[in-house]
Amino acid sequence: MTTKDEQVKAYQAFKKKLKLARLDDESGLSRGSKVSRILGISPPYGHPPEVWEELVQQGKLRREGGGTYALATERM
Q: What is the DSSP string of 25-57?
A: HHTSSSSS-SS----EEPPPTTS-HHHHHHHHH
Domain ranges across the chain? 4-71
The pLDDT of residue 70 is 96
Q: Tens digits of per-residue pLDDT, 30-65? A: 565 578 788 999 999 999 999 999 999 999 999 998
Cα 29 from Cα 60, distance rounded (Å): 30
The pLDDT of residue 12 is 97
Model confidence, pTM:
0.87
